[in-house]
Structure 1
Amino acid sequence: MNSQKIIICMKWGKKFGPEYVNRLYAMAKRNITGEFRLVCFTDNPLGLRPEVETRQLPELGCEHPERTIGKWPKVALWGAELGGLSGPVLFVDLDSVIINNIDDYFSYGSPDDVILARNWAKPFSGMGQTSIFRFPVGKNSHILKNFRASAQSIADKYKFEQHYITSSVTGGIKFWPENWTRHFRLHCLPIFPLRYFVRAKFPKAAKVVTFPGGPNPSDIILGRWDEDFHPFQSGKQHIANALANSFSPKERWRYIKRYVLPCDWIREHWRE
């Protein structure tokens, strides 16, 4: 295995500010043995700490698909060239929380393996989840080439970028060991209605906690589901808000279920 430890991330648009990248660097520094690099592919490097290397966002090279909700700009990582990098690199989503040492993510398997977290929403589907994955730069460049040739039809077929990646890697993907990567909503957050009384549990055997589909770490710290919700309120207040708003029955039920208590272990780990 290549001894070089390279983490990459992507930041585009306004959803995530520079503090997300800076926290990722700080979490990695606390949880990696020896030297490492964090390379951020971004359309705006302002505010990033000087230790973070920046590169221009790789070009998707085609029109962004419509009618689909997948994070398709991530497909641009699969070109034959990627910001002058080579060998295996570890991609980490900006809303991930590193809670233990991650050295093993760099040494697990073969350098040519593409290794993903399992899609825990559909664990028996064989699909991967790309919140944290390792891949050899340039080794599956057909993924981007094919996407550029037929972006909308691929998006219509697969719906999510991670499903397309899982189905397209030459020789197939591999998965991280099960307890390394935990999905916050599925593994940590109590089921409804227990989440009104019990805080999210700390997965002490895990290395990284991911947040696909929300809620976001910054919102959980405030005790809310997302920016459309009030900062922490009692369960009674939360339900009263749901009843007071002009929601449809479906929207009201969704609002009631989206309740989360503030989480101290996220505040402890997701910081500079």
Structure 2
Amino acid sequence: MSTLPIVCLALGDFYGLGDQYVGRMYDMLARHCDRPFRLVCYTDRPRKLPAGVESVDCSGWRELDRPGMRATTRKLGLFNPAYVPFAEFLYLDLTLVIRGSMQPLLDVAFGSEKDLVIVDDWHHEGYNSSVMRIRPEPLRFIYDAFVAGESYAQKVAGDQDFIRAVVEKHSAQQRVELFPPGLVVSYKNAVRTGRRNPVTARAMVDGAVIVKFHGRPRMHEVFDPFHHFWRIRLRDLVHGRLRSPVPTAELKREWLGTDAS
């Protein structure tokens, strides 16, 4: 079985926890990815990473810096085959928890004939780029469009709305497939759903391969007992729920390691 290339991106200080987030990503993959894999971390600074993680300097991707755009715009470099020399690869944000076997997600990602497999955004019509299977050579037009100065009206000034706009401009929708709903779920959405329908919220998380923590809070905040009580559990208690409808403790164990308390 061939080795599966998996790519992540660690930019900036990242709450002072960037190295830790990469290490925990590697550990989750080691537990839940049945295929041999190599994790390549593209980073803009030296980091102390596990021995099994390959580090690649992306500090020179300055052509992707643009005033008013978020740091995540550097994800567009993943569509440049000169930067990421794999025919196809899986990209994962660091701000997520892998909670079960990766195989259902990998079956979709690498079983598709499309050049890009990406998440359907939870909040508005568009893409969420937290999980992507990318073939950079046929998708280089996305990177080239940004470098050429193309810009579009965006709800969020970053990579994912730009990707959607360029795909539409080039009439390339036929090159894109969306992951089936439920494989990658939003933690925030699960919490909000749980306030109305706890059974549905629990089912959302139980059926997911990946739970994405987007915006704030991040995992180190949610999994901190003090923060979790005052920012999340207190709302449940106000509404008369003694137990959280979202299995945060289980997600914490996955992020910290199965033997963690």
Return the TM-score normalized by structure 2: 0.78
Q: 1:14 to 1:191 in 2, by over 3 A?
A: same
Q: CA deviation at 1:88?
A: 1.4
Task: Name the CA distance, whole Å, in 2 between partners of 1:181 and 1:149.
Answer: 32
Q: CA-to-partner distance for each residue in 1:213-268, whole Å, 9 max, x for gaps?
A: 232111111146xxxxx5633739xx9xxxxxxxxxxxxxxxxxxxx999211211
How far did residue 158 of structure 1 move? 6.9
Please name the residue that 1:246 is paired with.
none
The one-letter code matched in structure 2 to 1:147 is F
Alignment of 1:1-20 (within 5 A): 3-15=2-14, 16-20=17-21
Name the CA distance, whole Å, in 2 between partners of 1:37 and 1:112.
23
Shift of 1:32: 1.0
The 5-angstrom pairing of residues 135-146 of structure 1 reads 135-146=134-145
Residue matched to 1:205: 207
Contact persistence 1:223–1:261 (CA under 8 A)? no
Aligned residue in 2 for 1:257: none
Q: Does the CA-based 8 Å contact 2:64-2:146 persist in structure 1?
A: no
Bigger mean CA deviation after superposition, 56-65 or 211-220: 56-65
Contact 2:22 2:49 in 1 (8 A): yes
Task: Tell me the matched-pair count.
Answer: 238
CA shift in 2, pair 1:193/1:184, >3 Å: closer
Q: For 1:70 and 1:42, locate their aligned partners in 2 and report how far apart those are by CA, in whole Å.
A: 12
**CA separation of 1:6/1:58 partners in 2, compared to 1, >3 Å: closer, same or farther?**
farther
Letter of the aligned partner of 2:106 in structure 1?
F
Counterpart position of 1:215: 217
Deviation at 1:120, TM superposition (A): 0.9
Offset at residue 5 of structure 1 (A): 1.3
Does 1:263 pair with 2:248?
A: yes
| 1:102 corresponds to 2:105 | no
Match in the other structure for 2:242: none
Within the candidate set 170, 185, 190, 2:188 is matched to: 185
In structure 1, what is the equivalent of residue 133 of structure 2?
A: 134
Alpha-carbon distance, 1:194 to partner? 6.8
Distance change in 2, residues 1:158/1:264 (3 Å)? closer
Segments of structure 2 that go 5 or more residues without pairing to the other structure are 239-244
Q: 1:179 Cα shift? A: 1.4
Q: What are the Cα deviations for residues 36-87 of structure 1, in whole angstroms up to 9, with x where unaligned? A: 110100123422000001111164342622234472111111113224x322
Compare CA radii of gyration and give the structure with the larger one.
Answer: 1
1:92 aligns with 92
Supply the distance in 2 between the matched residues of 1:47 and 1:220 (Cα, whole angstroms).
24
Which secondary structure state, in structure 1, belongs to the residue aligned with residue 63 of structure 2? coil
Equivalent residue runs for 1:1-150 within 5 Å: 3-15=2-14, 16-57=17-58, 59-62=60-63, 64-69=65-70, 71-83=72-84, 85-108=85-108, 109-110=111-112, 112-122=114-124, 125=125, 127-150=126-149
The alpha-carbon deviation at position 204 of structure 1 amounts to: 1.0
Is this contact kept in 1: 2:152–2:165, CA < 8 A? no
Unmatched runs of 5 consecutive residues or more in structure 1: 225-229, 240-259
More moved, 106-115 vs 48-57: 106-115
1:49 and 1:146, CA in 2 relative to 1: closer, same or farther beyond 3 A? same
Task: Using the TM superposition, name which of 154-163 and 9-18 deviates more.
Answer: 154-163
Q: Structure 1: which amino acid aligns with 2:44?
A: D
RMSD of the alignment, in Å? Answer: 3.2
CA distance in 1, matches of 2:145, 2:47: 33
Quote the sequence identity (%): 24
| CA distance in structure 2 between the aligned counterparts of 1:80 and 1:17, rounded to whole angstroms | 25
Distance 1:266 1:111 in 2: 32
AA paired with 2:3? Q
- Counterpart residue identity of residue 190, structure 1: R
CA spacing shift, 1:69–1:46, aligned 2, 3 Å? closer
Q: Counterpart of 1:163?
A: 161
CA spacing shift, 1:232–1:261, aligned 2, 3 Å? farther
The answer to whether the Cα contact below 8 Å between 2:194 and 2:202 also exists between their aligned partners in 1 is no
Task: Read off the aligned partner of 1:267 and give its amino acid letter.
Answer: K
Partner-residue secondary structure (3-state), 2:61: coil
